[in-house]
Structure 1
Amino acid sequence: MTRQTFNRALAAGTCGLLLALGAHAAQDVPGQEVSSAPTRTWQPFWGKRVTGYLKAADGAELRYSVLLPKGDGKFPVLLRYSGYDSGSIGGSAYLADDETFSVDLDKQLLEQGYAVMGVQARGTGCSQGTFDFLGPDYGKDGRAAVEFAAKQGWSNGNVGMFGWSWAGMSQLMTASERPSGLKAIAPGMAMGDARSDSWAPGGVPAPEFVTGWHWYLSQRWAAVKASAESEQDQRCLKQLAQNEVDVKKHALTYQIIRHPLRDEWSAQRSIRDRTHLIQVPVLSMQAWQDEAVMAREGYYHETINPEQLWLVQSNGPHDLYESRHYRKKLQAFFDHFVKGLDNGFDKLPHVEIWQETASSGARDDLHGLNEPAKPGWTITRERYPVAVTPLTFALGAKGSLVEGGKPSGEPDQYNYPVAGPDVNTYEVDNAWGEQKPGWKDGSLAYTSAPLTRDLVTYGPGSADLWLSTPLGPDMDVQVTLTQLLPDGQEVYVQRGWLRLSARALDTEKSTAVRPWLLDTPDSLLPLEPDEPVLGRVELRPFSHTFRAGSRLRIWIDAPGRTGGYGFDTYALAARSTLLHDAEHPSQLVLGELAGVKVPVPQPACDSLLKQPCRPDPLK
Structure 2
Amino acid sequence: MGEFPVAGARLEADVDRQEEVAKMMLVERDMPIEMDDGIVLRADVFRPNDGRAHPTLMTYGPYGKGLAFADGYPTAWNKMAEEHPDTVSGSTNVHQCWEVVDPEKWVPHGYVIVRVDSRGAGRSPGFLDPFSARETEDFRECIEWAGRQAWSNGKVGLNGISYYGMNQWRVAALKPGPLAAICVWEGASDFYREAARHGGVLSMMLLNWYEMQVLSVQHGRGEAGPRSAATGELVCGDQTLSESELAANRADLPKFHRDNEFIDAYRERQADLSHVDVPLLSAGNWGGQGLHLRGNIEGFCRASSTQKWLEIHDGEHWVEFYTDYGVDLQRRFFDHFLKGEDNGWDEQPRVQMKVRHVDGTTEVRHEDAWPLPGTTWTDLQLDIDRMHPGAATESVVSFDVNGEGISWTTEPMEETTEITGPIACRLFVSTTSTDADIFAVLRAFDQAGNEHVFQGAIDPFSAVTKGWLRMSHRELDERLSTPYRPFHPHRRESEVIPYEIYQLDVELWPTSVVLPPGWRLSLTLRGSDWVYDSAPETRLSNFKNAMQGSGPFLHNDPSDRPSSVFSGRTSIHLGGKHKSFLRLPIVPATRTWTVSSASSPSEGPPEKE
**Fold equivalence (TM over 0.5):** yes
Q: How far apart are residue 555 of structure 1 and its match? A: 0.8
User: Which whole-Å CA distance do the structure 2 matches of 1:576 and 1:54 have between them?
Assistant: 55
What is the CA-CA distance between 1:322 and the residue it aligns to? 2.6
Q: Tell me, what secondary structure is at the counterpart of 1:283? A: strand
Structural mapping, 1:72-151, within 5 Å: 72-86=51-65, 99-102=97-100, 105-151=102-148
The equivalent residue for 1:284 is: 282
Question: Greater shift after overlay, 205-214 or 554-563?
Answer: 205-214
Which residue of structure 2 aligns with residue 445 of structure 1?
407
**1:40 and 1:96 in contact (8 A); partners too:** yes
Whole-angstrom distance in 2 between the partners of 1:87 and 1:178: 29
**Alignment match of 2:476 (pick from 493, 505, 526):** 505
Q: RMSD of the alignment, in Å?
A: 3.3
Aligned residue among 449, 467, 492 for 1:496: 467
Partner of 2:422: 460
Paired residue secondary structure (1:526) = coil
Maintained 8 Å contact 1:65/1:88: no
Q: Partner residue of 1:547?
A: 516
Aligned to 1:459, the other structure's residue is in SS state: strand
How do 1:134-533 and structure 2 match up within 5 A? 134-221=131-218, 225-227=226-228, 236-238=237-239, 245-246=246-247, 249-263=250-264, 265-271=265-271, 274-290=272-288, 293-297=291-295, 299-305=298-304, 307-319=306-318, 320-356=320-356, 376-384=362-370, 386-387=372-373, 388-397=375-384, 399-402=385-388, 404-418=389-403, 439=404, 443-470=405-432, 472-491=433-452, 492-521=463-492, 524-533=493-502
In the alignment, is residue 53 of structure 1 matched against residue 14 of structure 2?
A: no
Deviation per residue, 1:161-219 (Å, 9 max, x gap): 10011110222222222222221110112221211112110111122442233212133
Match of 2:598 in 1: none
User: Residue 366 of structure 1 corresponds to which residue in structure 2?
Assistant: none
Question: Within 1, Cα distance between the matches of 2:62 and 2:233?
Answer: 21
Which range moves more in the overlay, 158-167 or 67-76? Answer: 67-76
More helix by share: 1
In the TM superposition, what is the alpha-carbon distance from 1:294 to its structure 2 partner? 4.3
Contact 1:102 1:322 (C-alpha < 8 Å) held by counterparts = no
Q: Aligned with 2:440: secondary structure?
A: strand
Partner of 1:563: 551
Superposition TM-score, scaled by structure 2 size: 0.78
SS of the aligned residue for 1:227 comes to coil
Are 2:120 and 2:250, in contact at CA under 8 Å, matched by a contact in 1? no
Per-residue Cα deviation, 1:54-87 (whole angstroms, up to 9, x for no partner): 0123222111001123444222211111121237
Compared CA separation, residues 36 and 229, structure 1 to 2 (3 A):
closer
Name which of structure 1's ranges 226-235 and 302-311 shifts more when overlaid on structure 2. 226-235
Tell me, in whole angstroms, the C-alpha distance in 1 between the residues paired with 2:356 and 2:401.
34
Secondary structure (helix, strand or coil) at the match of 1:487 reads coil
- Give unpaired runs (5+ residues) of structure 2: 11-17, 73-91, 453-462, 531-549, 593-609
Cα contact 1:124–1:243 (8 A) shared by 2: no
The one-character-per-residue Cα deviations of 1:306-347 (angstroms, maximum 9, x if unpaired) are 631111012333214233212211111111111111101111
Q: Secondary structure of the residue that 2:306 maps to in structure 1?
A: helix
Rounded to whole Å, the distance in 1 between the matches of 2:387 and 2:258 is 39
Q: Distance in 1 between matches of 2:306 and 2:495?
A: 43
Q: 1:64 touches 1:88 (CA, 8 Å); kept in 2?
A: no
Amino acid at match of 1:579: H
- Pair 344,42 (structure 1): closer, same or farther in 2 beyond 3 Å: farther
Query: What are the Cα deviations for residues 516-538 of structure 1, in whole angstroms up to 9, with x where unaligned?
Result: 112112xx223222222121221
8 Å CA contact 2:431, 2:569 repeated in 1: yes
The count of aligned residue pairs is: 519
1:300 CA displacement? 2.4
* Runs of at least 5 residues in structure 1 that lack an aligned partner in the other structure: 1-33, 361-374, 419-438, 599-619
Residue by residue, what CA displacement relative to the aligned partner does 1:375-416 show, whole Å, maximum 9, x if unpaired? 62122112445443321000113x1110x2112142112212
2:533 paired residue number: none
Q: Distance between the aligned counterparts of 1:235 and 1:199, measured in 2?
A: 26
Going from structure 1 to structure 2, the CA distance change for 1:234 and 1:213 (only over 3 Å counts) comes to: closer
Distance change >3 Å, CA 551–CA 384, structure 1 → 2: closer
1:589 positional shift: 0.7
Question: Structure 2 CA distance, aligned partners of 1:277 and 1:238?
Answer: 40
- Structure 2: which amino acid aligns with 1:132? D
Contact 2:188–2:295 at 8 Å: present in 1 too? yes
One-letter code of the match for 2:302?
A: T
